[in-house]
Chain A
C-alpha cells in the first residue's frame, strides 16, 4: 500500500511539473458545461425545471466516466516507455503500480469536480438538497470514476500504445455517455435505444446523482423500468460489477504484461 502511494505521489508530482495536463483536463469539462448550458441547452425542452439543474449531474458523470481514458492513456504510455517493466523488476507488490495509478486518477477527479462545480454555480446551477446529500452525490461520482478507472487499467495494459488506448476508449465511452439521459430526455430516442439508454450505467448514475441533488431522477424516461425506479441501487450494482470484473483482471494482466 505504501508503494502504491509512492506511485500516486509520482503522478501528482507530474501535475506540478507539467501543469498544462491539469489545466487541459479541467478545461474540457468546463467547456462542456458552457456549451450545453448556452448552445444546446436552449434547444432542449425540459418543462418545469431549469435545464442547467439537469445538465450538471450529466456532465459530472460524463467527466468521471472518462477517467477510463486517463488511466488507460497513462498506463499505455508507461508501458511504451518501458517504465512498467522497470516497476515490475522492483521488489514491490504486483498491485502497487495499478492501485497507485487509479488512486492518482481519483485524486485528479476531485480537482476536476471542484472546478466544474464552481463553473456550474457560476452559470446558475443550484442543487436543492441538503449539504449531506450533495456530498454523498460527489462521493458517489468519485467511486464511479474509480471503478471506471480499473477498466482503464485493463485497456491500457492490453493495447500497450497510448494512441490506440485513446481511440479504443473514445470508441466506447463517447456513445456510452451520449446514449443516456445525461444531456437530453431519452423519450426522444427510438424505442430500442430507450431501453439501452435506461439500462446504461451512465444513465443510472446520472439519475442517482440527480436524485441526491434534489431533482426528479429521470427526465422523460419510460418510468416503469427497474433502473428508472432504482437508479441508486442499480448504480451501486454496476460499480460493484465493474470492480469485481476489472480489478482481478487488471492485476492479473499486470503480472504477465509484456511491452510490444
Chain B
C-alpha cells in the first residue's frame, strides 16, 4: 500500500537487471527506491529485469523505504507486462515514464485496477507517479497531476525534455519553465514535485548547486543515480540550525498566545501571520522525519 504524503527527498534509480544493486538498494539511506525497467535496461534484458524486480519485491525486505518501479511506457509494448509483474508483486508506486496527457495516466490506471482485481489485491492499493519528459507533457502538467487519485507525485525527466526543446542541459535556466510548471501543477493537485537526475556523479559542486536550486523552488526531492549523491542531497534538505531555532521560536510564541487565550501571537514585536506558522510547522516536520530516517540508515 502506498503512502500519499511522506518524505521523498531522494528517489534512487536502481537498474532492474542488476541483482547486486537491487539487493543492496535499501542500505544507502534513500527515501525511495526506484527499480528501473526502462532506460537503464537494454532491450534484450527487459524480461530478465522484470523477473528480477518481481522476485525482489516479493522476497527482499526493504525496510521502511518506499518502493517504486519505473515501467516502460505503454506504447512500447512492454509496459503492460511490466505492470502485470510489479502490481502483483506489491510495489508501492508505479512510475509511468513519458507521460504526455491525463489520458496516459488514466490508461495506466485502468490496467493497474484490472490487475489488482485479477490478483485479489484491493483495488487502489498501488500508487502512481507521472514522469513528464516532453514539451507536450509539461504543458499538460496541471491536468496530468489531477488525472488520478493514485498519483503521489509528478516528476520531471529532463534528458528527453531538453532534446524536445532543442537545447541541452546547462546551468538550469533551460529547465526553469518546466520545473515551475510541474511544481505548480503538483501543488495545485496536492501531490509531490520531484526533480530530475544530475548525471555527472563526480561533480559534487554542480550537484549541490542544483539540489539547492530545486529546494529553493519548492521541490520535495530529486532523483539520484548513485548512492554518493544521497548524503549531500539530504544535507541540502535538512533545515539549518538557524532556521530550526526560528521555527521553534515561532511555535513557542503560538503556544504562548494560545495559553493566554489570545488569537494573536507575536515574535520580537512582529505579528506572526498564518503562512509563517505553516512554514515553521513544515520545517519542523521535515526535520523530524529526516532525523528519524537518516538515523535509521543502518536498519
- Genuine A/B complex: no
Residues of B within 8 A of A (CB): none
